[in-house]
Structure 1
Amino acid sequence: MSYSESIAANVRAEASRRNVKSHELAELLGFSETSLRKRLNGLIEFRPSEIEKISIYMEVPIEELTRHVVGGVA
């Protein structure tokens, strides 16, 4: 799993744990849901500023979102 895929997996996992819907994140970041889905699926990398906004919004340490996942488990 690439680093960008790890970040996407971490964002998906934390959003699920906190019951944050994709439309909320899309609105937060100023994206369409399609653009957000591409990031959440690892097709497009999240920018550092986007990760920071998500971290603040979900009240999750940025380190939790940026840690590298080995073996596909967040």
Structure 2
Amino acid sequence: MTYREKIAANVRAEIGRADLTQKAVSKIIGLSTAAVSERLKAKVDFKPEELKILADYLGIDPVIFYRSQVVKQEVAP
């Protein structure tokens, strides 16, 4: 898996957790749905500023998108 593919996979995971559609993501980061689709398929790189905007919207640290493995933190009951 390439670094671009890892970033795209992490973005897909986070938008899935947030139950966002590609259309919603396109509005959030200011791109067409086709451009978002190309990024989510790892055909085009996400720009750092796009990831920052999305992370801010999701309330997460943008570093999560760059990790090679996303680890879900468990909260003790």
TM-score (norm 2): 0.83
Q: Percent identity between the aligned chains? A: 30
2:59 maps to 59
2:15 aligned with 1:11: no
For residues 4-57 of structure 1, the C-alpha deviation after alignment (integer angstroms, 9 at most, x for no partner) is 111110000011011111111101122111110000000000011011011101
Q: Which amino acid aligns with 1:66?
A: Y
2:48 aligned with 1:48: yes
Structure of greater relative contact order (alpha carbons < 8 Å, 6+ residues apart): 1
SS of aligned partner of 1:60: coil
- Return the alpha-carbon distance in structure 2 between the equivalents of residues 50 and 32 of structure 1: 13
- Return the alpha-carbon distance in structure 2 between the equivalents of residues 62 and 10 of structure 1: 10
Bigger CA radius of gyration? 2
1:22 maps to 22
Note the residue ranges of structure 2 that are not aligned, 5 or more in a row: 70-77
TM-score (norm 1): 0.86
Q: Which amino acid aligns with 1:58?
A: L
Note the residue ranges of structure 1 that are not aligned, 5 or more in a row: 70-74
